Chains A and B, each alone.
Chain A
Amino acid sequence: MTIEFKLPDVGEGVADGEIVQWLVSAGDRVKEHQAVVEVMTDKATVEIPSPADGQISALLAEAGDVVPVGSVIFTLETEGGATVAEPALAAASASGGTAVASAPPAAPPAIKTTTGKVLAVPSARRVARDLGVDLDRVAGSGRHGVVRRADVEAFHSSGAAPASAAPTPAPIQGSGGETRTPFRGVRRKIAEAMVRSAFTAPHFTVIEEVDVTDLVALRGRAKALGAAEGVKVTYMPFIMKATALCLARFPMLNGTLDEETNELVNFHYSNLGIATDTPNGLLVPVIKAVEQKGVLALARELAELAERTRAGKVKPDELVGSTFSITNAGNIGGIMATPIINFPDIAILGVHRLMKKPGVVAGPDGDRIEVRQYMNFSISVDHRLADGADGARFLAYFRTLLEDPGLLSL
């Protein structure tokens, strides 16, 4: 039989180990308890012995590699198989031949409970969350198809895209006072998306200043109303509502380019991607059919979705399907920005900081100076598919709606 030897946790709670050196070569015959490899963890350097008598069929990591606990580091062919003490913690799914850690599993897809939840051991769920792996897509090798931790890791190392959260990359200390962090996970995905957007769509950006004094007052009243229902009302649902109304008026900004059919697609609904800063990086969950929802309903949905996104519990299908996106830098700072489009959307709206400024107000006795509240909004548009005038018209109408927010109910 084949034993796939997985790097065990050789100290209480170590996550990975560095292969210091192999003490055997592929093809060597080894005895049970014979030292096979020297592994350095953050606690100790230890010799890992063979779990059984047999022949080493493959060494699956190289000296210097840092391998996570649970990854297969060597395979061992044992004779017979009846009397071999199979490692209790190493899932030796013996199928003959040499199994390789990175081979994608060929088993049937994971089974689900009647509630639609994939059956998985707790450690597999945790690792899936850490690695950003969607358990739905992982084939389980455990009894009754239960997904085990190793299945998740094999799936992840096979190159499957992260679905929700990112691995927390273990920084590797380099010399000379720098920190080197593996470029992978969500950061890598963000980079790829940004490059694709910035170098496919020629961006141009229009910026507008909006007097939101009335909106501030309205939101204050809505906040009190929402609080009574346990809903936190921010400015974002008003901005979303205004955006949906604008998109209905300027559909050329609510669409995408179908490059396969060479058709310009304009959507008759507004699915708004909301860029969200999470501990794992920028994610863009989508709120669907915004044009059909009221401000309070949007507030409720937004709070719930943002919470799940930050907690890494957002479902993959909630991260796709936007027709237009909004990015909010206002709560951090900066008076303006040039957002990068959430490709393949056509445009993105940037929301900037709320600030008090002296403003000129027309009154019956002529103009006067008042303390007013302003926000800047920017819109970046894919100039292949829309023109500067479209972006400017969008913002002009957007300004009209937000300066007199009663119009949002029209």
Chain B
Amino acid sequence: MASRTPVSIIEPDGTTPGYDHGLSSGELLRIYSSMVLTRAFDDVCIKLQRSGRIGFSIPNKGIEATQVGCASALSPDDWFFPSYRDFGMPLYHGVEPVEMMNNMFGNAQDSARGRQMPVHFSFVDPIRLVSISSPIGTQIPQAVGAARAFQMRGEDHLCLASFGDGGTSSSGFHSALNFAGVWKAPVIFLCQNNGYAISCPTSSQTASESFGIKGEAYGIPGVIVDGNDVFAVRQAVEQAATRARAGLGPTLIECVTFRMGGHSTSDDPSRYVPKELMEYWAGRDPIMIYESVLFREGHLDEARKTQIAAEAEARVDAAAKQAAATDPPSLETIFSDVYEDIPQHIRTQGEAAFDLVARKGGAAGGGGEFPL
């Protein structure tokens, strides 16, 4: 039975009564740096979009504790089926900002070769992060399917399905939870309740008393945690992972958090989010909440904090410069990655295209419009 009030661990004074994080100073600061890096990456992406250098971005501000807290409780051998608002997960596990920037610019180094929208990452190494899909909730049954496969093969991976509050209204959410419950599949459902599905408030999303309670209908434990409390998220995911690895099946975790920005770079949250709500959550900034622990326990001081922020900005800035300077994918990539051995008719088309470019020159870049 899901607790009706979100579980939180960190008190306003930075104490964590009854909770031993058991982490070294280095591990604590890795979590912190990842949250700061996530925010810097988000901030620069929005500015790059506003100045016309990338087509699109998805604001991540305010969700850093949920993303990084969750990632920190999972192993790089686990499989991530994230939503498009999960910058912190790959960054925590060592994906370089430039690898993500390559996707934002859709350049030749992008793992999707520019065939995806920005923010639609996919990585094999150092973590298995399955290609992000725009359609809502599609990753949830995919995660269950993969978890079921690992279960049948006797492999020790577990799968994370991360989605927003809006994702719970997708049909995939229901079929995924149902089958995961039936099979006791090694999967964790992380519902990031960030207040709004684009402009649709939680109150219009469900008649349930919470999202966490929805697990009960499928025979799955549901827990509700404070998504801005990195320890509360980490603890919930650790416990869910322990259950999953022990063959006890899935867990639904609702992280109550707040999106401190638009749904994407294409909407204006000031038109649908009450100002008071924004102000309330600004006072519950997840980075600030975590800093209170680090300051209190002596892992962080003002100088170190400034240094970590500066390092994050410099890394993101360098990543953006490098990705911007990288060429777009070559014309050849239009014809590659579909067949292992390119069939003759496609080869002929390709040669005709290359010949045309050799004679006429390649097309210039776009004129600044959204790349759809």
In the complex, the answer to whether B367 meets A10 with C-beta atoms within 8 Å is: no
In the complex, the answer to whether A123 meets B52 with C-beta atoms within 8 Å is: no
Secondary structure of the B contact surface, majority rule: loop
In the complex, the answer to whether B366 meets A87 with C-beta atoms within 8 Å is: no
In the complex, the answer to whether A69 meets B49 with C-beta atoms within 8 Å is: no
Residues of B within 8 A of A129 (CB): none
Kindly provide the distance from the CB of B308 to the nearest chain A CB, expressed in whole angstroms: 19
Contact flags A248-287 to B (C-beta < 8 A → 1, else 0): 0000000000000000000000000000000000000000
> Of the 9-residue stretches B139-147, B233-241, B330-338, B355-363, which lies at the interface with chain A?
B355-363
Q: Counting CB contacts under 8 A, is B299 at the interface? A: no
Q: Counting CB contacts under 8 A, is B344 at the interface? A: no
Task: Give the contacts of B319-372 with A (CB-CB under 8 A).
Answer: 320-321, 324-325, 360-370, 372
Contact flags B36-53 to A (C-beta < 8 A → 1, else 0): 000000001001011111
In the complex, the answer to whether A10 meets B44 with C-beta atoms within 8 Å is: no
Contact flags A2-40 to B (C-beta < 8 A → 1, else 0): 000111111111000000000000000000010000000
Secondary structure of the A contact surface, majority rule: loop
Q: Total number of A-B contacts with CB less than 8 angstroms?
A: 120
Q: Counting CB contacts under 8 A, is B249 at the interface? A: no
> Of the 9-residue stretches B120-128, B217-225, B262-270, which lies at the interface with chain A?
B262-270
In the complex, the answer to whether A146 meets B368 with C-beta atoms within 8 Å is: no
Residues of B within 8 A of A49 (CB): 47, 50-51
In the complex, the answer to whether B368 meets A89 with C-beta atoms within 8 Å is: yes
Complex CA gap A11/B52 in Å reads: 10
Q: Counting CB contacts under 8 A, is B56 at the interface? A: yes
In the complex, the answer to whether B368 meets A69 with C-beta atoms within 8 Å is: yes
Which of A6, A33, A123, A148 lies in contact with B44, CB distance below 8 A? A33
Task: Give the contacts of A80-112 with B (CB-CB under 8 A).
Answer: 83, 85-91
Residues of A within 8 A of B79 (CB): none
Complex CA gap A188/B365 in Å reads: 33
Residues of A within 8 A of B264 (CB): 12
Kindly provide the distance from the CB of B271 to the nearest chain A CB, expressed in whole angstroms: 8
In the complex, the answer to whether B267 meets A143 with C-beta atoms within 8 Å is: no
Complex CA gap A123/B56 in Å reads: 18
A85-B325 CB under 8 A given contacts A45-B268, A146-B363, A148-B364: yes
Which of B53, B55, B56, B362 lies in contact with A87, CB distance below 8 A? B53
In the complex, the answer to whether A123 meets B50 with C-beta atoms within 8 Å is: no
Q: Counting CB contacts under 8 A, is A331 at the interface? A: no
In the complex, the answer to whether B369 meets A13 with C-beta atoms within 8 Å is: yes
In the complex, the answer to whether B267 meets A85 with C-beta atoms within 8 Å is: no
Residues of A within 8 A of B361 (CB): 119, 143-144, 146
Complex CA gap A13/B56 in Å reads: 11
Kindly provide the distance from the CB of A23 to the nearest chain B CB, expressed in whole angstroms: 13
Q: Counting CB contacts under 8 A, is B105 at the interface? A: yes
In the complex, the answer to whether A85 meets B44 with C-beta atoms within 8 Å is: no
A13-B372 CB under 8 A given contacts A87-B52, A113-B360, A144-B360: yes
Kindly provide the distance from the CB of B13 to the nearest chain A CB, expressed in whole angstroms: 35
A51-B267 CB under 8 A given contacts A13-B370, A121-B366: no
Identify which of B360, B368, B370 gathers the most chain A CB atoms within 10 Å of its CB.
B368
In the complex, the answer to whether A121 meets B47 with C-beta atoms within 8 Å is: no
- Which residue of the partner chain B has the closest CB to A90? B52
Kindly provide the distance from the CB of A9 to the nearest chain B CB, expressed in whole angstroms: 5
A6-B368 CB under 8 A given contacts A49-B51, A89-B52: yes
In the complex, the answer to whether A44 meets B366 with C-beta atoms within 8 Å is: no
In the complex, the answer to whether A9 meets B370 with C-beta atoms within 8 Å is: yes
A123-B367 CB under 8 A given contacts A8-B50, A144-B360: yes
Complex CA gap A341/B361 in Å reads: 48
A44-B368 CB under 8 A given contacts A8-B50, A90-B52: no
In the complex, the answer to whether B52 meets A146 with C-beta atoms within 8 Å is: no
Which of A83, A89, A91 lies in contact with B53, CB distance below 8 A? A89
Which of A12, A33, A148 lies in contact with B56, CB distance below 8 A? A12
Residues of A within 8 A of B271 (CB): 44
Residues of B within 8 A of A87 (CB): 51-53
In the complex, the answer to whether B51 meets A50 with C-beta atoms within 8 Å is: yes
Identify which of B44, B265, B369, B372 gathers the most chain A CB atoms within 10 Å of its CB.
B369
Complex CA gap A43/B269 in Å reads: 10
Q: Counting CB contacts under 8 A, is A336 at the interface? A: no
In the complex, the answer to whether A48 meets B50 with C-beta atoms within 8 Å is: yes
Which of A11, A119, A142 lies in contact with B267, CB distance below 8 A? A11
Residues of B within 8 A of A121 (CB): 363-364, 366-367
Complex CA gap A13/B321 in Å reads: 26
A33-B265 CB under 8 A given contacts A69-B368, A88-B365, A148-B364: no
Kindly provide the distance from the CB of B97 to the nearest chain A CB, expressed in whole angstroms: 15
In the complex, the answer to whether B368 meets A9 with C-beta atoms within 8 Å is: yes
Residues of A within 8 A of B366 (CB): 89, 121, 123, 149
In the complex, besides A44-B271, A70-B367, 7 extra interface pairs with C-beta distance below 8 angstroms are A6-B52, A10-B49, A46-B50, A70-B369, A88-B105, A121-B364, A123-B369
**Can you list 28 A-B pairs, Cβ within 8 angstroms, ordered by A?**
A8-B53, A9-B55, A10-B49, A10-B50, A11-B265, A11-B370, A12-B56, A12-B266, A33-B51, A44-B262, A45-B268, A70-B367, A85-B321, A85-B324, A87-B52, A89-B52, A89-B367, A90-B52, A91-B365, A121-B364, A121-B367, A124-B367, A127-B367, A143-B362, A143-B364, A146-B361, A146-B364, A149-B366
